[in-house]
Amino acid sequence: MVKEQNYILVLDQGTTSTRAVLFDRQGKMVGWAQKEISQIYPKPGWVEHNAVEIWATAAGVIGEVLARTGTRTGEVAAIGITNQRETTVVWNRRTGKPVHNAIVWQCRRTAPLCEELKKSGMEQEFRQRTGLVLDAYFSGTKIAWILDNVPGAREEAEAGNLLFGTVDSWLLWKLTGGTVHATDYSNASRTLIYNIHQKQWDKKLLQYLNIPIQMLPEVKPSAGIFGLTQREAFYGEELPIAGIAGDQQAALFGQACFEPGMAKNTYGTGCFMLMNTGQEAVQSESGLLTTIAWGVDGKITYALEGSIFIAGAAVQWLRDGLKLIDSAIDSEYFAGKVEDTDGVYVVPAFAGLGTPYWDMYARGAVFGLTRGTTKEHFIRATLHSLAYQTKDVLGAMEKDSRINLKALRVDGGAVANNLLMQFQADILGTAVERPEIIETTSVGAAYLAGLAVGFWGQTDIVNNWRREKIFKPQMTPERRKNLYRGWQKAVRRTMGWAAETE
């Protein structure tokens, strides 16, 4: 009997949770399952995940989504993987066990190493070759840290016994029963050791960071067959893993931003704005990153990126740290009870500041408190901080690309918040477009996998994108200017904080 393969299955491994999502031919989500993952904070500024737990949640959500929707594995045409980027896993190729917890993209432990490299005058070289800045955010210095700090790791790595991977590689390795060690262009371009122009691991940078090349994965196109699931690990089926991309690049793909100049902003744990720059790797002069969006059909597409480390995570902090709200959705209710923030600014620089400031030592602060400040003002100011940070990034993006965006496509968990989206349009002075599918990260990975196995064509993807709501700017230019000036003043005062106090 011929099997009907009606679905694409996506594994979306994010900073806070792992999701499995099933898509049909119309690009519609027919089912999903999600599990949170533990956040480990061994020291201030340090963030880790347990890679074994990541795999366990991935296996768990796959089983759950199939069971919930009554889908047999034989009905799945292909699997796509999309992932939190930069997060670094090093494991033993024989035992399959990680040698250390995964070091998360937000982790600042390698700031001193980045400082040292900068002092040795290497910053420009890293920037030119990788498109990135020398910051603790990226994988390269995290790998070096593991090799330098886990007893015996360096010797094992040199002997070819250890493998490095971003989370996509780790999941691919597990799904294929330890037979495939690979990644895609978009993930490789976030490691600080991949030359985005020559499209290969950069031997010189590997030397600077003292990383043995034999531990690195093979880099492949984002849409293409990476390997087959091992029968024992996958309900007796050999399914192709046919698409991989870092979550922010997947979202750009899912938003159908296929033309140069098209951009999206994703509001998850952090906020990431990417603009398609076509086949040209544009060097930024304003603190943006140059990165690979994807490799599809033998062509590499580049993007400019603005990275904000703390966005939805600030709302989680209101919920879990300060216990001011019971759930993220309540932030809109409380913020809506006041007209404005009454002059309060929250700068959530909990993990330093990314684009355009790149200050590893900035730390969070609240300004403008008075006796009249209420919980509602505080919550509203926290929501506004997502929009202000986005304005900082869009300013840099428009300057570098010389394109004034007519509208910004948005997605991610926090765009469900209408108050935030309206303020975003107001403070940008640019329309904000929310699509029907805000799970664009997963849908992007599904499209990549589906393209590779002929499940979809590119025109299907463009036709599937539909706007659900547009938020138009309503604020006067004068008020916009005054509010933004206050934000810039607040940001300046958070900069360098940890360096001064440590």
Ligand X SMILES: O=P(O)(O)OC[C@H](O)CO
Ligand Y SMILES: Nc1ncnc2c1ncn2[C@@H]1O[C@H](COP(=O)(O)OP(=O)(O)O)[C@@H](O)[C@H]1O
Q: 10 Å Cβ neighbour count for 390?
A: 25
- At 393, the amino acid letter reads V
Q: Binding residue per annotation — 137?
A: yes
> 436: Cβ–Cβ under 8 A, 6 or more apart, which residues?
466, 467, 468
> 101: Cβ–Cβ under 8 A, 6 or more apart, which residues?
40, 48, 49, 50, 51
How far apart (Å, rounded) are the C-alpha atoms in residues 453 and 492? 50
Least Å from the CB of residue 202 to ligand X:
20
How far apart (Å, rounded) are the C-alpha atoms in residues 321 and 120? 39
- Residue 266: strand, helix, or coil: strand
Least Å from the CB of residue 414 to ligand Y:
3
Q: Binding residue per annotation — 75?
A: no
Q: Binding residue per annotation — 295?
A: no
Contact 241, 228 (CB under 8 A): yes
Q: Which does 407 bind (CB under 5 to 8 A by kind): ligand X, ligand Y, none?
A: none
Q: Which does 470 bind (CB under 5 to 8 A by kind): ligand Y, ligand X, none?
A: none
Q: Binding residue per annotation — 154?
A: no
Stretch of 170-178, 219-227, 241-249, 460-468 lying at the interface with ligand X (CB under 6 A): 241-249
Count of residues in contact with ligand X, rule CB under 6 A: 12
**Binders of ligand X in range 170-199 (CB under 6 A):** none
Q: Which does 286 bind (CB under 5 to 8 A by kind): ligand X, ligand Y, none?
A: none
How far apart (Å, rounded) are the C-alpha atoms in residues 173 and 461? 29
Number of residue whose CB is nearest ligand Y: 413
Nearest to 211 by CA among 162, 262, 172, 259: 162
Q: Which is nearer to ligand X, 12 or 426 (CB)?
A: 12
Q: Binding residue per annotation — 417?
A: yes
When asked if residue 14 is in the footprint of ligand X (CB under 6 A), the reply is: yes
Least Å from the CB of residue 329 to ligand Y:
4
How far apart (Å, rounded) are the C-alpha atoms in residues 154 and 233? 30
**Binders of ligand X in range 248-287 (CB under 6 A):** 248, 268-270
Q: Binding residue per annotation — 86?
A: yes
How far apart (Å, rounded) are the C-alpha atoms in residues 232 and 157? 28
Q: Binding residue per annotation — 95?
A: no
How far apart (Å, rounded) are the C-alpha atoms in residues 299 and 288? 23
Q: Which does 332 bind (CB under 5 to 8 A by kind): ligand Y, ligand X, none?
A: ligand Y
Least Å from the CB of residue 372 to ligand Y:
24
- Residue 29: strand, helix, or coil: strand
Q: Binding residue per annotation — 17?
A: yes
Least Å from the CB of residue 267 to ligand X:
9
Residue given tokens 């594995």 in the structure block = 73
Q: Which of 86, 202, 392, 433 binds ligand X (CB under 6 A)?
A: 86
Q: Which does 86 bind (CB under 5 to 8 A by kind): ligand Y, ligand X, none?
A: ligand X
Least Å from the CB of residue 386 to ligand Y:
8
- At 143, the amino acid letter reads I
> 146: Cβ–Cβ under 8 A, 6 or more apart, which residues?
88, 90, 99, 100, 103, 153
When asked if residue 142 is in the footprint of ligand X (CB under 6 A), the reply is: no
Q: Binding residue per annotation — 236?
A: no
How does 65-93 read in b/e, with b if 16+ C-beta sit within 10 Å? bbeeeebebebbbbbbbbbbbbbbbbbee
Q: Binding residue per annotation — 214?
A: no
Residues forming the site for ligand Y (CB under 6 A): 14-17, 268-269, 312-313, 315-316, 328-329, 331-332, 412-414, 416-417
Least Å from the CB of residue 313 to ligand X:
8
Looking only at Cα atoms, what is the longest distance across the chain? 74
Print the binding letters for residues 87-116 with ligand X: x by CB under 6 A, - otherwise: ------------------x-----------
Least Å from the CB of residue 320 to ligand Y:
9
Three-state SS for 261-306 is CCEEEEECCCEEEEEECCCCCCCCCCCCEEEEEEEECCEEEEEEEE
Q: Which is nearer to ligand X, 85 or 100 (CB)?
A: 85
Q: Binding residue per annotation — 426?
A: no
Q: Which is nearer to ligand Y, 87 or 291 (CB)?
A: 87
- Residue 20: strand, helix, or coil: strand
CA 493 to each of CA 115, 136, 234, 308, 486: distance values in angstroms, whole numbers, following the listed order: 21, 22, 52, 18, 11
- Residue 150: strand, helix, or coil: coil
Least Å from the CB of residue 477 to ligand X:
32
Which residues are annotated as part of the binding site? 15-17, 19, 85-86, 137, 247-248, 269, 312, 316, 413, 417
Which residues are annotated as part of the binding site for glycerol? 85-86, 137, 247-248
Q: Which residues lie near ligand X (CB under 6 A)? A: 14-15, 84-86, 105, 246-248, 268-270
